Amino acid sequence: MEVLFPRLVKPTRSLALRVLEDGGIESQLDDVALAIFARSQIEALLRRSVFPGEVIGIVTEPCIQSAIALLAGIAGGYVVLPLDPKLGPLALRHILADARPRLIATPFPERMDSLLCDLHGVEVLRIEMRAGEGSALEPRPLLDTASLLLYTSGTTSTPKGVLHSSKAIAACIDGLAAVWNWTSEVDIVHSLPLFHVHGLVLGLFGAIRRGGALHWLTRFSPEGIKQTIEGIKPPRKAVLFAVPTMYHRLAQVMATDPEVRNALASTHMLVSGSAPLPLRDAEAVSAQIGKTIIERYGMTETLITLAVPFGVERAGHVGWPIPGVEVRLVDEKRQPIEVADGLTPGEIAVRGPTLFLGYLNQSKATKEAMDEEGWFYTGDLAVRAPDGAFRIVGRRSTDLIKSGGYRIGSLEVEAALLEHPQVLEAAVIGAPDPDLGERIVAFVVVKDPINLPSDLDQHVARLLSPHKRPREVHFVTSLPRNAMGKIQKSVLREWMAKA
């Protein structure tokens, strides 16, 4: 029987998880200890009569307990709903109402908004690290039913729940393993949150499935990345997974800090994803350490589908389809574009075992995104080189912003701004940013222009999550509208370009 995490069923005493928390707290677990704690977590759920197949929320606090609970939930057959620990009430209310988790597990129940949980009748369970009744997990076969529920922004004012099976997770990790030669000698280093695909599916589930360790630095800093990499000694091979913003910051620090430079140079592989890696940052890193950053492309709905293989130099490209996955470009009528000239753009369509099962409670949106032949339309625009390598060139919807690697819907931020008592109208766009890729810029009409509110960023951070806050707010007397009354965001973009 094929299971998702073989080492938790037959633990062998190899290092599985090293977590470097803020404030210097470091914890390490081998796979025996990890299996023991994961098992006790599953037993705690069963004692509360929460059974496999039910949705459980897990607050992904930056600490080892949350990582254990995420692994236990998936391995125990639950539908795991990872929750950003900084979710504000507007976002949390929507997710609880839509996903209806049976229970929320968190290391810090005291931080949960109990009023909100009461409102939705959700029980809260403290994640504790204690020994269970056995030292290994019961084997559970890979299934094509729901096992992971991730919320991601779309072009509506509320995020959608994306359902994935354990089979899709395994297909993604194994496909990447084939092109990267990702063996049990590889240790993953990352400093990403555990409520999205990158940090969770690739970083945590990937490392545990492949048999090496995950070294998780819970708050990103170049110094922390240096120390984390230094903790990995040969014959172990360090592989860094990071978003472009992190490489941008590492490149800047490396220029004056030889220790950070040496640490990065000592890695086996550097991988970037979640957003476009600017060529200048890629070149700044490779010029300093003599190593090329490998890119791969994915999406919450498709998991990772394109990757540059290990050892292949392909600057500016996100590579080829991973084994088992089909990727093609289509025109506006969704007809395939056969030409591979590196010039003709088309929308990326994906088919294969890594695709999601559908959006929760949104059959219409699922049908719109996926056709009868099983192709999913990503909304990303790319060109294909004669050798088949894809290069991302843009995105269909300008209502989706990628900031620091996070996907943020402009309508969601506008809805939050409109909750502010001073705000009459709001329009949000993404503006090019050398550090974040795009930064969220808000244009706002207020009730009282004499007393301009100074707390709009905090207001959005509190209601949604800090990474969705506007980094720049412009107060205007009116928003540009067309004859139909629709806000003309292209005009706002022109203003920004000229400013």
Hey, which residues between 34 and 93 contact ligand AMP (CB under 6 A)? none
**What is the C-alpha separation between 206 and 17, in angstroms, rounded?**
12
Tell me which of ligand AMP, ligand MCA, none is bound by residue 245, counting a contact when its beta carbon lies within the kind-specific cut-off of 5 to 8 angstroms: ligand MCA
Cβ 302 to ligand MCA, closest distance in Å?
8
Q: Which of residues 303-342 bind ligand AMP (CB under 6 A)?
A: 318
* C-alpha distances out from residue 57 to 80, 330, 441, Å: 6, 37, 31
Identify which of residues 100 and 471 has a Cβ nearer to ligand MCA in the complex: 471
Burial of 251 (0-12, 13-18, 19+ CB in 10 A): buried
Q: Residues 6 or more apart from 198 whose CB is under 8 A from it?
A: 190, 192, 241, 243, 273, 274, 298, 405
Contact residues for ligand MCA (CB under 6 A)?
192-193, 196-199, 220, 243, 245-246, 273-274, 298-300, 404-406, 457-458, 461, 466-467, 469
The residue (of 329 and 460) whose beta carbon lies closer to ligand MCA is 460
Q: What one-character DSSP code corresponds to residue 218?
A: S
Q: Is 273 in the site for ligand AMP (CB under 6 A)?
A: yes
Q: How many CA atoms lie within 13 A of 272 on its CB side?
A: 28
CA distances (Å), origin 193, targets 165, 239, 302, 412, 492: 21, 17, 19, 20, 32
The binder of 158, among ligand AMP, ligand MCA, none, by C-beta within 5 to 8 A per type, is none
Closest distance to ligand AMP from the beta carbon of 310 (Å): 16
**For ligand MCA, the closer CB: 351 or 402:** 402
CB nearer to ligand AMP: pick between 20 and 275: 275
Answer with the entry of ligand AMP, ligand MCA, none that 93 interacts with (C-beta below 5 to 8 A by kind). Answer: none
Q: Give the SS3 label for residue 186.
A: strand
List for the chain the helix, strand, coil content (%; round to 5): 30, 30, 40
Residue ranges in 393-432 that form contacts with ligand AMP under rule CB under 6 A:
395, 402, 407
DSSP letters, 318-342, are -BEEPTT-EEEEE-TTS-B----SS
Lay out the sheet containing 237-242: strands in order across. 26-30, 15-20, 214-217, 186-190, 237-242, 269-272, 294-299, 303-307, 320-321
What 3-state DSSP class applies to 130? coil
Q: Does 275 bind ligand AMP (CB under 6 A)?
A: yes
CB nearer to ligand MCA: pick between 292 and 302? 302
Taking CB atoms, the residue at the shortest distance from ligand AMP is 407
| Binding at 7: pick from ligand AMP, ligand MCA, none (beta carbon under 5-8 Å per type) | none
- Shortest Cβ distance from residue 296 to ligand AMP (Å)? 6
User: Measured from the CB atom, is 101 or 244 closer to ligand AMP?
Assistant: 244
Between CA 289 and CA 282 the distance in angstroms is 11
* Least spacing, CB of residue 306 vs ligand AMP, in Å: 8
Q: Minimal distance in Å, beta carbon 38 to ligand MCA?
A: 23
Token pair 């959608």 is found at 160
In this structure, the strands spanning 26-30 and 15-20 are antiparallel
Nearest approach, Cβ of residue 318 and ligand AMP (Å): 5
174 to 203, contacts with ligand AMP by CB under 6 A?
196-197
Give the shortest CB-56-to-ligand MCA separation in angstroms: 21
- Residue whose Cβ sits closest to ligand MCA: 404
Q: One-letter amino acid identity for 498?
A: K
**Close Cβ partners of 367 (under 8 Å, ≥ 6 residues apart):** none
- What does 167 interact with, of ligand MCA, ligand AMP, none (CB < 5 to 8 A by kind)? none
Q: Does 298 bind ligand AMP (CB under 6 A)?
A: yes
- Give CA separation, 284 vs 19, 271, 290, 389, in Å: 29, 15, 10, 23
| Cis amide leading into 235 (omega within 30) | yes
Which residues of this chain interact with ligand AMP, rule CB under 6 A?
152, 196-197, 273-276, 295-300, 318, 378, 380, 392, 395, 402, 407
